[in-house]
Amino acid sequence: MSLLTLTNIHKTFEKGTVNENHVLRGLDLDINQGDFISVIGGNGAGKSTLLNSIAGVVDIDQGDILLEGESLRKEPVAKRAKKISRVFQDPRMGTATNLTIEENMAIAYFRGEKRSLFKKAVTDKDRAVFKTALSELGLGLEDRLKTDAAFLSGGQRQALTLAMATLLRPKLLLLDEHTAALDPKTSDMVMALTKKIVEEQRLTTLMITHNMEHAIAYGNRLVMLYHGKIVVDVRGEEKTSLTVAQLMDLFHKNSGEVLADDALVLG
């Protein structure tokens, strides 16, 4: 069943200037309920613009974005945020440094309730919800609710951000290179948590990654962007049987180019 449909999406930055950049060029994408899609592509392919368009951070020039058949085109970021959660590359973007773990969880828990953080304090019932969600991470954060986020490691903060993003079970989870700023060991830990949460909650997920091994290993589907269009879309057994070399070859066949050494990363 289709959850999100993007039809003929165009986005041009600095239109009419010498710096004009037509990033998304008639992009079409149909995302089914429960899909976990890895999105890869070279620098400037349009990956972040794609996620920004879905989240509402960027207004598209042409086309439409439908969530469960309803257009998001005119919905502001705040309204979309009730249905669409996002985890960014920088762990500091998903958490407030000067707030405690409990207070950060409360921001996510009360999302969409007007000024609710200012109307009431966190209750024991709220804390029980937070502890249950945090205990799933296996990092002991449920026992550190009064600890400021500033004292957490990058991996712990990104895990906290994941818990916050999925606390209210969004219709769509956007992962914007959410392990790129982490060391390999911590990255693998966060990816394992991501897989666990996505599978247990059956979340529909779109994940940008520069790591080709992660792109192959996680999710049921892989799409590759090139010049603002999807040139590769593989899923199921075809995806899981891919090797990194085959993926590179797919890109070459569909774009006529060879990926630069730093365009995508091996694990």
Asked whether residue 142 is domain-assigned, the answer is no
Which helix (DSSP H) or strand (DSSP E) does residue 3 occupy?
strand 2-13
Asked whether residue 23 is domain-assigned, the answer is yes
Longest Cα separation, the chain: 59
What pTM was estimated for this model as a whole? 0.91
Q: What is the pLDDT of residue 42?
A: 86
Asked whether residue 164 is domain-assigned, the answer is no
- What's the total number of domains in the chain? 1
pLDDT for 123-160, tens place per residue? 999 999 999 999 999 999 999 999 999 999 999 999 99
Asked whether residue 133 is domain-assigned, the answer is no
Check: CB of residue 1 under 8 Å from CB of residue 31: no
Asked whether residue 184 is domain-assigned, the answer is yes
pLDDT for 28-87, tens place per residue? 999 999 999 999 998 889 999 999 999 999 999 999 999 999 999 999 998 999 899 999
Asked whether residue 14 is domain-assigned, the answer is yes
Phi-psi domain of 44 (left: phi exceeds 0; alpha: psi -120 through 50; beta: other): left
Percent of the chain predicted with pLDDT > 70: 92
With both helix axes pointing from N to C terminus, report the angle between 184-201 and 154-166 in degrees, rounded to the nearest 10: 10
pLDDT for 1-17, tens place per residue? 689 999 999 999 999 99
13 versus 265: which is more confidently predicted? 13
Asked whether residue 229 is domain-assigned, the answer is yes
| Residue 229 DSSP symbol | E
Helix/strand/coil for 100: strand
Residues in a beta bridge with 7: 64
Q: What is the pLDDT of residue 267?
A: 41
Asked whether residue 219 is domain-assigned, the answer is yes
Instruction: Tell me the two tokens of residue 170.
Output: 């969004």
To which residue do tokens 């959660």 refer? 85
Full DSSP string of 20-82: -EEEEEEEEEEEETT-EEEEEESTTSSHHHHHHHHHTSS--SEEEEEETTEE-TT--HHHHTT
Residue 48 sits in a domain whose CATH number is 3.40.50.300
Instruction: Tell me the two tokens of residue 190.
Output: 């966060």
| Residue 151 DSSP symbol | G
Length of the chain: 267
Residue 212's domain comprises: 2-98+170-255
**What value does the mean pLDDT of the chain take?**
90
